[in-house]
Structure 1
Amino acid sequence: MRTPAMRAGRLDTFGQLFGSAPLDPGRGTFMATGEAPVLEALVEMNGVSLARAELDPATLLLVRIAALAAVEAPTASYLMHVGPAVESGVKIEQVQDVLVAVAPIVGAPRVLSAAGKITEALGVAIVVTEDAATADD
């Protein structure tokens, strides 16, 4: 059972990660800045990566999907890549080919996990798109 003190400690940790609580409450200093510092850092890192890579967008996204499968990334990570992949012309067959190609390296369990997470991310992306279209009507 969690005590109020344990919950407060978890909230402090969450606040420190996402910039809404000071890292050193005694001094009131903040390490991370911005409204959503973790998300902003991820967007910035992706921007730098995209600017430095000389791959076409579709190839870059397929490589990233392979890397996500290798590290057993969460669905949210796939969600960040599914939309841009579709916009870049990546076909589901190409994603399947990538998963087949990396299976001997990363293993069947990770590939199966990746396939499920990609399917889930596609479902979320479709729902968000449909909701946005409905809101525009």
Structure 2
Amino acid sequence: MAKGDAPVLEALTDLNAVSVARTGLDPASLVLVRLAALIAVDAPPASYLAHVGPATESGVTLEQVQDVLVAVAPIVGTPHTFSAARNIVEALGFAIELAEADAGT
């Protein structure tokens, strides 16, 4: 994709890169903090999907993701927690499908 073909995606990528560069958090902590923020704003599955790769690369475990859901539940409430769990599962399913499709090519 040539520069300028996807200006919104490019802007989000640039914003993300600046955020990562300016934080002193280790990669796993950064992913977990972002996961908590996504839960709080009731993010769609695509937002979680964007964090599957970084989570895997930084060694974040399923248990840690569950711990974040439990930790933020009293703050964000049951509806956001259940929505987040559903959206995370959907994003993981999509990530698995993509990985399997790549493996088959």
Secondary structure at the counterpart of residue 35 of structure 1: coil
Q: Which amino acid aligns with 2:36?
A: A
Gaps of 5+ in 2: none
Counterpart Cα distance in 2 of 1:71 and 1:82: 18
1:49 to 12, 16, 19: 19
TM-score (norm 1): 0.73
Determine if the alignment matches structure 1 residue 127 to structure 2 residue 92. no
* 1:69 paired to 2:39: yes
Runs of at least 5 residues in structure 1 that lack an aligned partner in the other structure: 1-32
Computed over aligned residues only, the root mean square deviation of the Cα atoms, in angstroms, reads: 1.0
Aligned-pair CA distance for 1:78 = 0.4
CA distance in 2, matches of 1:128, 1:54: 31
1:82–1:118 Cα contact (<8 Å) kept:
no
Greater helix content? 2
| From 63, 66, 84, the counterpart of 1:96 | 66
How far off is 1:121 after superposition? 0.5
Alignment of 1:13-52 (within 5 A): 34-52=4-22
Q: Secondary structure at the match of 1:73?
A: coil
Work out the number of aligned pairs and report it. Answer: 103
Letter in 2 for 1:61: V
Q: Which runs of 4+ in 1 moved over 2 A?
A: none
C-alpha distance in 2 between matches for 1:84 and 1:123: 16
Percentage of pairs with the same residue: 67
Bigger relative contact order, structure 1 or 2 (CA pairs below 8 A, ≥6 apart): 2
